[in-house]
Structures are given as C-alpha cells and as structure tokens.
Amino acid sequence: MTKSLHDLFDLSGQVALVTGGSRGLGFQIAQALGEYGAGVILVARKEAELREAAQQLSAAGMQASTVAADLRDESAAQSLIETVRERAGRLDILINNAGATWGAPAEDYPMSGWDKVMAVNVTAAFALSKAAAKAFFIPQGKGAIVNVASIEGYLGHPTSRMGTVAYNASKGAVINMTRALAAEWGCKNIRVNALAPGYFRTKMTEAVLGSIEQEVIRATPLGKLGSDFDLKGAALLLASDAGAHITGQSIGIDGGASII
C-alpha cells in the first residue's frame, strides 16, 4: 500500500511517553508529537510544571496527560509502564529525554554527582526502554524509542569551561546504548535512535550560557543557539513511519558545532 508523506508522519491514535517532558527539549518534542496526532504522556518530577505544560498542549488542541515520577527510583520504570497500561492500553513511542548534569573539575568530581548523572541519564533510560519493550513494543510487533543524547557524547570538553565528565560520559553511553538496543531489537521491529543536541537555551543550560554564550555561538558554523523549534522535525522523523528505515543512529542538532 502506498502512503503519502503526510501519512508517514501522521501519529494519530498513537501514544507517546516523554520523560522530562514538562519543559525545555522534552516539551518541544512533546509539542511536535502532539501536533501530529499522538496522545502525549508527560513525565517529570514537579507536578506544577507538568500541569502547566499539559495545559499548554491541551489549549493547542493536543491530547496530553501527566505522571509525576522521580526516574532515579528503581521502581519508577515499571510503575510508569503500569500507569500507561491503565490509562491508554498501549505505547508506541518512548522519548527518553530526562537528564541531569553536574559541573566540577574531574580531579575533584564528587562520586555523588557522578552517580546522580548516571542514574538519570543512562540507567533510567535503559530501565524504561526495557520495560516498554517487554510490555508493549514486543507484543505489539512495533515501537520507536528516541533517546536524547548530546554532542557532548561525541566530544571532550573545552578547557575554558567547567568540567562535566559525568555528563559527557553518560551521553556517550546513551549513544552506544542506542546502537546496541537497535541491533538487538531490530528483528522485533523496534527502532532505537538518538538526538544529539548542541546548546539550546533551557533551564539546564541557562546558568552556564550566561558566561559562555558568545563563545558557543562563535564556535557554531550556523552562528546561533538551538531554538524552540529546532528539535521538532528530527524528533518527528525518528518517532514516525517517515523514519521507518532509520535505526541505531544519532543525529546531531547543533548548528554544525560538532563538525569543527
């Protein structure tokens, strides 16, 4: 059967779970999926921020609901999957966007900071991917996972900036976890890809951008930071049937910063 390009991007009737979905890059992705018809379930720790995000999506005519959860909790992944089963009865798209960072020189880096970053950025993403695949994607014969990595997973860190060794290591792990899961689950028709953003203006980056924004812009071929729209197209491609033959890939959304 021939599908139009519109049909390939259409997510009507599908359900997407977006972690870290109440603000920043997660909210941007949720907007893209909701605009193309997906019912979106937003996950974050703070209920007030979740409510505000869901209200914005609903006001734009999108289907949105929320679940407050701390993904560092070992039981969070299974609890989230059970909630999705009760509310929607299916899950088609998982966006692993929730993230944490910690800045300190490597020689003084606290192990508590290392553990926190790894728990959110790597362990929680794997636990939720595993739970979603087992409960939904494998039985359904189809699923799409999009992990939000970073160009910091490809690169070292400029010496002019505070060290973020755990963040860099965690995002490198996300990129290779994406490849490993894509290879293992491809035969089950589960696609696993990653987005690797450069600098966007978010709550996580606002403090550091205060001192390095112009340096970052000068080092970016397109000469700008990521905008509120720049992640949407790539996220929609990887989540939809328009990207049906793409798996195991990491797409840099960085204005070219990682190519020089």
3-state secondary structure of 197: strand
Report how far residue 51's alpha carbon sits from residue 36's, in angstroms, rounded to the nearest whole number: 21
CA gap 114, 63 in Å, rounded: 36
The CA distance from 127 to 125, in Å, is: 6
167 is catalytic: yes
Pull the structure tokens for residue 256.
């070219």
The answer to whether residues 195 and 146 touch, using CB atoms and an 8 Å cutoff, is yes
Could you tell me whether strands 190-197 and 64-68 are parallel, antiparallel, or unpaired per DSSP bridges?
Answer: unpaired
Amino acid at 44: A
Report the candidate in 160, 156, 138, 155 with the shortest Cα–Cα distance to residue 208.
160
The one catalytic residue among 36, 109, 154, 167 = 167
Is residue 205 within 8 A of residue 234, CB to CB? The reply is: no
Across-strand partners of 194?
Answer: 147, 250
Which residues are catalytic, by number? 167
